[in-house]
Amino acid sequence: MATTTHILGYPRIGEKRELKFALERYWRGDIEQSQLQQLGSDIRAQNWSLEQDAGLDFATVGDFAWYDHVLTTSLLLGHVPARHRDGNNNLDTLFKIARGQSQHNACCQGHAASDMTKWFNTNYHYIVPEFSAQDEFSVTWAQLFDEVQEAQKLGHSVKPVLLGPLSYLYLGKEVEQGFDRLTLLPKLLKAYQEILNKLVTLGVTWVQIDEPILALDLDSRWLTSFQPAYQALQCDLKLLLTTYFDSVTDVLDSIVELPVAGLHIDVQAASQQLEQVAQAIPEHWVLSVGAINGRNVWRANVSEWLERLQPLKRQFGQRLWVASSCSLLHSPVNLEHEAKFSQEVRSWFAFAKQKVAEVVLLGRALDGDEHAISQCKTYSQPIEKRKSADYVNKPAVQQRLNSISANLAQRSAAYPKRAHHQQEAIGLPLLPTTTIGSFPQTGEIRSLRSDFRTGKLAQDDYITAIKGHIEDAVKRQEALGLDVLVHGEPERNDMVEYFAELLSGFQTTQFGWVQSYGSRCVKPAIVVADIEREQPMTVGWSTYAQSLTDKPMKGMLTGPVTILCWTFPREDISRKTIAQQLALALRDEVNDLQQAGIDIIQIDEPAFREGLPLKQREHQAYLDWAVEAFRISASVAKAETQIHTHMCYSEFNEIIESVAAMDADVITIETSRSNMELLKAFEEFNYPNGIGPGVYDIHSPNIPTSEWIEALLRKAAEKIPVERLWVNPDCGLKTRNWSEVDASLANMITAAKVLRKEWQSE
C-alpha cells in the first residue's frame, strides 16, 4: 500500500548556475563541446542522486534541456526549420534555432532564430516549433535515450518525461498561410510511437507524458484528437497523463476515456478539482496528486495536505501517488545556500531540493509512518505562525488600500490632448528613436555591484563608478543620434529585484536563481509582507543622467503587474491586493520623477499578458485589476509627462482592449521575430496611442542591417500611422555587448532617418 512519490522535473541549471556559465563559455568558443556535454552529464547525475537519496520512487529523466524542453522535443523529433537544416542535427543545430547565427546577417540570409514565447502563464520561455505542410518527423537525436541509459547505469529507477504530441503541435505555429498544423498529427504520432517503442527496449515501465494544454479552453478539434492519438500510442508502457497550471474538470469526461494508466493533476493551481477528479477516474488508474507547489517558494503546509489526502489514500491505496504540482524548474534549486537568511526567514521557504523532501515526507505520512506524521505537524508550524504576525500586515498600507477610488486611476486629460501637450514640451521628430532601457551589463559593472555588496568598495566610490558608466552610455547615445535617451541601468542587477531590494515587504536571495530560457536566469524576490516605498528609488540616477544632456531622458520603472508576476507572491492574500500595493508605491515614484524634471517615464509591463489566467472565464477579472494597477501607478503623471510601457512576447489579440485601456502614451512591443505579425492586433483594433514595434531581436547576437530594419518599419507603417510610430529594439540590451549594440543601433537610426526624410516629404 506504499504511496509512490515522484516529481515532474528538476532544475537543470545546477546549484550555482553551472550550466549557464558553461553554455556561455561554449558560445564564446572558450570550451569544447565535449566539456559542455560532460558538465550536463554531471548535473544530471547530481539531480538523480538527490532524488534517489531523498527517497523518491523514480528518477525523472528527460527534464534536462540545453536551452528549453520544447526545443529539445523538436530535436528529438528531427523537426528543424528548413533554414537551419544541414543534414546533421546536433547540439549546434539546436543553438542555431534558438539564437540565430552570429557570424552572418542572419535576418537577411535566412538564418534568423525561431520565435520565442512564454510557457503558459510562467516566466519560462520556449522556442516555438514551426510547422508547414512538407514537415516530416524522424527520431534521430538520441539525447533522451542516452540519458535513460545514463540513469540506469547509475542504478536509478527511471521515469522518462515527454512533452505530449498534442501539446507539442498546439504550442507551435504555422509558417504557411492556409495550413492547419493539426493535419500533421498522424505523421507526428508515428515518431512518438518510435520513441515509446525505443523506451520499451530500454526497460522503461512508466512514462510521464505531459499534456498541459488540457488545462486550457481547447476547441473541439483539438480535444477530440486526444482519443485517436493516444489509441495510436498504445504499447508495453504505462503512460501517466500529466496536466498542470489549472483545473482539467472541464475536459474530464474526455480524459477518462483515454487509454492511459494514470492522471496527474495540479492541486496547487486548482485545489478544487481534487475530489471531482478522484471520483471520475477509472478504477485501474493511478491518481498523481501535485500537492507540493512547484511554482512558489513557500514551505508546504504538509499537515493540512496530510489531512486532506488521507481519505483518498484509503480509497486509492497504492494507486495514489504524491508529486510536485509541476516541474520544479520554476523553483530555485537549494535553500541551503541562503546563508544570510535568519533562522525564522529560512523556516518559511522550500526550494527545489527541499520540495523533493516535502513530497517524500507527505508520502510517508500517508503510509502511516508515525514519525513522518509528527514531522508534518512540526514542519508546518512556521507557516501557521506567520498568519497572525504583525510584521506581515501593516496598518498604514491597509489604510491606503482602503482609500483607492476610481479617480485614482484616471489621467488628467485624454490622450489626444496629452499628445499635444507632450509634443510642445518635448518636441520629438517623426519616427522618434529610443531604446527600451538597459545597456550592456559588462563584467566591470557586475564586479562593481559585487564589490559594493560585499563591502570591498565604499559607497561613494561605487556611486562615482556607476555615474561614470551612465556618462559613457549618454555619450554613446548622443553620438549615435538617438532622440530619447536612457541612463542604461548600470546600477540594476535585475529589473524586478532592483525594486524589490528598495521596497519594504520583500525578501531577496543570494542564489535563488530560476531559468528563464537558455542561459538566461532570473532571481525572483519573495513578497513576505505588505509592500510600501520608504524613499525614492530611481530619481537620483535619472536626474544625474538628464544633467548630462539636453535630449529627453526616460525614467525607467518596472510596473506593478510585472513585479508581481516575476516575484514569488504571498499565498495568504490575493494577487490583486499585491498589485495594488505595488501600484501605490510606484505612483509615488512617478510623481517624484516628474517633479524632478523627468518628462518621459517608462513603466514596463512585459509580464502583463503572462499573468492572464489560463481559463477564458477568469480573464476579465484579472484584466480589470491589472489595468487598474497600471493606471494607478501612471495616472499621477501630468498631461505633459509622457508615459511609456513595454511588453514582451505577447499575443495581443485577446487582450488588446485592455492594453488600450492602460492608456499609456506610447507602448513598445517585441515584434521582429514575428516579422511584425503581432501588429495585426493593433491594426484591427485601431489602437489609438503611440506604438514602438521592436525592429530587431536583441536575444540574438545577429547584427541587423539598416535595410532589414527599414523593411520592417515599412511593414509597421502599413498598420500604424507614421505620426504615432516609434523606432526601438525589441527589448532591453543588457545581455548584449557594446560592439553589437553600437552597430545595431547605428543601423536602426540610419533606417529611421531614411524613412523620416522620405515620409516627411510626402
Residue ranges of the annotated binding site for L-homocysteine are: 436-438, 489, 604
Q: What is the 3-state secondary structure (H, E, C) of 388-424?
A: CCCCCCCHHHHHHHHCCCHHHHCCCCCHHHHHHHHHH
Catalytic residue among 84, 330, 644, 699: 699
What is the DSSP secondary-structure string of 246-273? S--GGGHHHHTTSS-SEEEEETTT-TTH
719 within 8 A of 683, measured Cβ to Cβ: yes
Which residue is it, cell 525505443? 198
Residue with cell 493539426: 182
* Cα 7 to Cα 358: distance, rounded to the nearest angstrom: 11
CA distance 561 to 64: 30
Active site residue 111: no
Distance CA 712, CA 681 (A): 16
Indicate the annotated binding residues for L-methionine.
436-438, 489, 604
Contacts 24+ apart (CB under 8 A), 463-472: 466/490, 466/491, 466/541, 467/544, 469/444, 469/445, 470/541, 470/544, 470/545, 470/548, 471/548
The CA distance from 442 to 263, in Å, is 47
Grid cell for residue 619: 480573464
Annotated binding site: 17-20, 118, 123, 436-438, 489, 520-521, 566, 604, 610, 646, 648, 670, 731
Q: State the CB neighbour count (10 A cutoff) for residue 368.
A: 12
In the chain, count of helices (H) and strands (E)?
29, 21
CB-based contact 550:605 (threshold 8 Å): no
> By CB neighbour count within 10 A (0-12 exposed, 13-18 middle, 19+ buried), where does 443 fall?
exposed
Cα 671-677-678 angle, rounded to 5 deg: 60
Tally Cβ neighbours within 10 Å of residue 39: 19
Annotated binding site for Zn(2+): 646, 648, 670, 731
Farthest CA pair distance, the chain: 83
> Which are the catalytic amino acids?
699
